[in-house]
Amino acid sequence: MINSISLRYSYDFFLDFNPPFVMKKLAFLTVFFFLTTVGLVFKFIVVGDVQKHYDGRVAVKVNQDEVNYIREKMRGFLSSFQEVADGIAKENYEEVASAARRSGKFIRDNAPAGLVGKVPLRFKSLGFDTQDRFDVLAQAAKEHRDPKYLLSQLSAIAKNCAACHYSYTFKVVGP
Ligand code: HEC
């Protein structure tokens, strides 16, 4: 009985089998999944989870843990910045190097999972570039020991701080 039913179904399927139609369906599904993937990648990597802020900036929607993390890193940026300037003024290159290193790219290591998908691509680039520049500055303090050069590096970092602050803010959503 079971065998005859399954046989009939496979026979019907065989009769219905229409290669051009199946190919069209497959092509449609492939295009559909491709576009969905491209859309998701675009949303996840380029746009992030954002809304327009009342003052014209872009507000990145983050939860409380994520905003705490970023604000803490920001305060770290500011204190590194101040100590680097202090070190350059005193020509204390160890102070410059260690203060810069504290805001280098290692601070990405314990970023909350999911945060990277919420911030727009430009935000990520400015953030990562700032950390990379702090690392470069730390290295330069060891190698060049040239206050003018180090100041120009510090000024380039400040440009990133300003560019990001002019463009972005946060909107805390969720716990
Ligand atoms: C990739 C973007 C980005 C970069 C780069 C950046 N910031 Fe920020 N920072 C922000 C955002 C967004 C806020 C929140 C602003 C708001 O509340 O409107 C913020 C807030 C801050 C705060 C306040 C922290 C608190 O506890 O509320 C400080 C201080 C700060 N940034 C310093 C810096 C310094 C110094 C640099 C450069 C060395 C820098 N930031 C680079 C995005 C950035």
User: What's the rounded Cα separation, in Å, for the pair 141 and 139?
Assistant: 5
Ligand 1: centre distance to CA 95 (Å): 23
Does 11 share its domain with 32?
Answer: yes
pLDDT class of 22 with cuts at 50, 70, 90: confident
Looking up tokens 């491709």 gives 34
CATH label of the domain that carries residue 156: 1.20.120.10
What would the pLDDT profile of 130-170 be if each residue is shown by its tens digit? 999 999 999 999 998 899 999 999 999 999 999 999 999 99
Instruction: Tell me: pLDDT of 24 over 90.
Output: no
- Ligand 1 touching residue 130 (CB < 6 A): yes
Sheet with strand 168-172: strands edge to edge? 50-52, 58-62, 168-172
Q: Which helix (H) or strand (E) holds 126?
A: helix 121-143
Closest CA to 80 of 104, 115, 59: 104
Does 29 share its domain with 98?
Answer: no
Does 123 share its domain with 137?
Answer: yes
Q: Rounded to the nearest 5 degrees, what angle is found at the Cα of 72, between the Cα atoms of 67 and 75? A: 125
- Ligand 1 touching residue 165 (CB < 6 A): yes
Instruction: Tell me: pLDDT of 66 over 90.
Output: yes
Does 162 share its domain with 120?
Answer: yes
pLDDT of residue 143: 93
What would the pLDDT profile of 74-88 be if each residue is shown by its tens digit? 999 999 999 999 999
Does 88 share its domain with 28?
Answer: no
Does 20 share its domain with 97?
Answer: no
Does 104 share its domain with 59?
Answer: yes
Residue 13: exposed, middle, or buried by beta-carbon count in 10 A (0-12, 13-18, 19+)?
exposed
Domain that holds residue 31: 2-47
- The total number of structural domains in the chain stands at 2
What would the pLDDT profile of 93-141 be if each residue is shown by its tens digit? 999 999 999 999 988 888 998 898 899 999 999 999 999 999 999 999 9
pLDDT of residue 65: 93
Does 80 share its domain with 163?
Answer: yes
Does 71 share its domain with 106?
Answer: yes
Does 114 share its domain with 165?
Answer: yes
- Ligand 1 touching residue 142 (CB < 6 A): no
Instruction: Tell me: pLDDT of 2 over 90.
Output: no
pTM (2 d.p.): 0.83
